[in-house]
A and B are shown apart, each in its own frame.
Chain A
């Protein structure tokens, strides 16, 4: 019963997330709203880690498993993928390098600014 209660709680939060998503004037994924809800509930200590407990860890540990069904859906697009495979790989690689460089250099830049501010405070 414990696991069922945990699952019911998680599903309930997801339903609320979907409901809020459908009421918003712009489009925003319901699952991400649920995630933000859980984060707020945990941070405000209304919800404790134990309340989500083993069921949440079960979902997180086996996360990859849940991608199999939508992934197999690629069968429907076999012809499409065959016609654009090199574009797909290039887009993936270009954005990988761009994203890596931008995020790493920004971290270095922000840390340098923080050091400058700290030094000025000391002076």
Chain B
């Protein structure tokens, strides 16, 4: 019976159905903690363990989905291109803000991970976790880290950024909407940006453009921290 689980179609179908349910629950609950990716991953893991299906069987199909990560990254260019006017309006503040953010993220990850005794493979998996997931995975693979750990960390960071964005703004007394938006986008990618959009139009636009810029800075600077 369970032979059908080895068909590539099984992994693809399970992923789509789980994601569908994740999106539905997220909409019903209406809170970022009900993250569709986490819910979908939990459903897949639950189905695999309940039916005793090996991960290899799931990956027969899911590897086709993972193959789309590079195309997803390539078309991210479209999001930068569509925001070129917004970027032009605050070019230098955003350019240097995202650069400083990337440097601070990389050095604080390197420092704290070493302090907590994490090994090189862990550090390779964590270094890129502040940036948008497809690029974070590419950086992790470049350094021989564990992509699954990177995804877990990008989701944790994104959710924390989403929940803490207003508090961080108050604690650091950031009253300027451009500065607040760049801060949110640099440290917590798309998940944080959804909160920035709630805070205001300028915060949302700045956060959104900072996602791709901080990712490019991180790709360029990460090798110096590994």
Chain A residues with CB under 8 Å of chain B are 7, 10-11, 13-14, 17-18, 26-32, 34-39, 42-43, 49, 52, 56-57, 59-60, 63-77, 80-81, 84, 87-111, 114
Contact = CB atoms under 8 A, between A and B. Distances in A.
B201 interface: no
Interface in B103-126: 103-105, 107-109, 112-113, 116-118, 122, 126
A66 B174 contact: no
A49 B78 contact: yes
Contacts of B174: 104, 108
Contacts of B29: none
Given A69-B62, A95-B108, A98-B104, A14 B74 contact: yes
A48 B132 CA distance: 24
Contact of A69 (B65, B105, B117): B65
Given A69-B15, A114-B92, A60 B72 contact: yes
Interface string B132-164: 011101110110001111011100110011001
B172 interface: yes
Chain B contact residues, majority secondary structure: helix
Contacts of A7: 71
A114 B92 CA distance: 9
Contacts of A107: 93-94, 96-97, 176, 178-179, 182-183
A72 B58 contact: yes
A68 B76 contact: no
B103 A59 contact: no
A87 B116 contact: yes
A63 B81 CA distance: 18
A18 B108 contact: no
B74 to A, nearest CB: 4
B40 A111 contact: no
A109 B84 CA distance: 22
